């Protein structure tokens, strides 16, 4: 029985993409730091005051397999150069769960939001060009990609803005971690004649 337990623990440890483990058998989940730059897609000028919400995920073991679960959020706001920085995020997770990648939501009122999956896009200097697999109509192909730079497309009409307005992320336990995002959503909702969200909603 003891040998079986050691064997299972080894399989779980080797098969889990974490950077290490600590006492008690809990594995370390670490992502970041992330940095990037947000530009206007038409003028190519930096966008100041855009919000970037990093969403950290794990794959949680259930009775029927794994499901992706949000475990935390960090946000940043772009500066006058359109740049943002999100510090390293570290936590411990159950060894039966798997570390998952990070997703990002980038948005400012008056622009179409961008959802991007994958922390690697934001780990190098913005503008670094690398050959990466890109999904095309012919399947995945290796193409040069400029890392860390996101372009937001301006919305021209109130109707476009109404259709494109984002919503808060996760349940109420995460609302305090997205204060800038909710503030911008409420500015947009007021401009559109909609009721703003309250923090406790």
In this predicted structure, what is the pLDDT of residue 200? Answer: 55
| Nearest in space to 56 (alpha carbons), one of 14, 28, 84 | 28
CB count, 10 Å around CB of 117? Answer: 12
In this predicted structure, what is the pLDDT of residue 14? Answer: 46
In this predicted structure, what is the pLDDT of residue 96? Answer: 79
In this predicted structure, what is the pLDDT of residue 134? Answer: 78
Q: How far is CA 127 from the centre of its chain?
A: 19
In this predicted structure, what is the pLDDT of residue 26? Answer: 56
pLDDT < 50 regions, the chain: 4, 7-8, 11-12, 14-25
DSSP codes, the chain: -HHHHHHHHHHHHHTS--SEE-GGGPEEEEE--EEEEEEETTT--B-TT-EEEEEEEEEEEETTEEEEEEEEEEEEE--TTSEEEE--EEEEE-TTSEEEEEEEEEE-TTB--EEEE-GGGGSS-TT-EEEEEEEETTEEEEEEEETTEEEEPBP-SHHHHHHH-----SSGGGGGGGHHHHHHHHHHHHHTT-PPPPTT-
In this predicted structure, what is the pLDDT of residue 114? Answer: 96
């Amino acid at each position: 029985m003891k040998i079986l337990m050691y064997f299972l623990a080894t399989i779980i440890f080797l098969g889990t993409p974490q950077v290490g483990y600590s006492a008690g058998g809990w594995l370390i989940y670490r992502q970041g730091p992330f940095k990037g730059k947000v530009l206007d897609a038409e003028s190519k000028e930096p966008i100041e005051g855009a919000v970037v919400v990093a969403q950290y995920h794990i794959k949680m073991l259930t009775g029927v397999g794994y499901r992706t679960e949000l475990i935390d959020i960090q946000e940043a706001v772009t500066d006058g150069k359109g740049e943002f920085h999100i510090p390293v995020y570290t936590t411990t997770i159950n060894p039966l769960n798997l570390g998952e990648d990070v997703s990002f939501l980038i948005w400012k009122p008056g622009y179409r939001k961008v959802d991007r999956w994958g922390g690697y896009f934001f780990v190098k200097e913005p503008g670094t060009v690398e050959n990466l697999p890109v999904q095309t109509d012919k399947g995945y192909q290796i193409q040069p990609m400029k890392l860390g730079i996101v372009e937001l497309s301006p919305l021209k009409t109130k109707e476009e803005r109404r259709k494109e307005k984002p919503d808060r992320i996760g349940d109420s336990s995460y609302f305090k971690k997205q204060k800038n995002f909710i503030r911008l959503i409420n500015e947009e909702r007021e401009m559109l004649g909609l009721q703003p969200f309250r923090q406790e909603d």
